[in-house]
Chain A
Amino acid sequence: NAGVTQTPKFQVLKTGQSMTLQCAQDMNHNSMYWYRQDPGMGLRLIYYSASEGTTDKGEVPNGYNVSRLNKREFSLRLESAAPSQTSVYFCASSEIQTPYEQYFGPGTRLTVT
């Protein structure tokens, strides 16, 4: 039981490049989330998926797209990376879209130069 896994762990991009961050969970959770963590800012929600087939914007969605590929997988895409997107990205999942605790992946450290 791996919980929430994220790939890659580290990535360096040049401005304008695109990439997809992958997230998968094996806990049969319905809801999945993408956050970014910046120094002194806590975690901010980018997008979330309440259930398979639905996605919604969070607090900071600009510059990102998401895909809920199936119940297990939720990917985050940067179409044209910008230095402001340098951050640590966390994926999380929860049992259903209620205030149950969220379980987090190990994070992806992204640097955009």
Chain B
Amino acid sequence: QSVLTQPPSASGTPGQRVTISCSGSSSNIGSNTVNWYQQFPGTAPKLLIYSNNQRPLGVPDRFSGSKSGTSASLAISGLQSEDEADYYCAAWDDSLNGNWVFGGGTKLTVL
């Protein structure tokens, strides 16, 4: 049971806009920023979005992040087949002396 809640799956067709949600609480998303990671099978996670809505160099602007209250979202516009991957949200949690927490991950399928 992950501290942050994500839908286990999401899907879309090429060119479509897809959003993935991440729900938390006041001790994590409600008081800290959210980061998003993209992971392809058999590879390490890659930083996709940091500090709620910042893109590292090299990440296409098709990927965007937002946060409101105790929830966050990752949006992917102009969906491409190569976007098919697992996506994880993460945030610092202030409870129990501090702890990084992750969502359970969302598997994105491009139909």
Q: Do A and B actually bind?
A: no
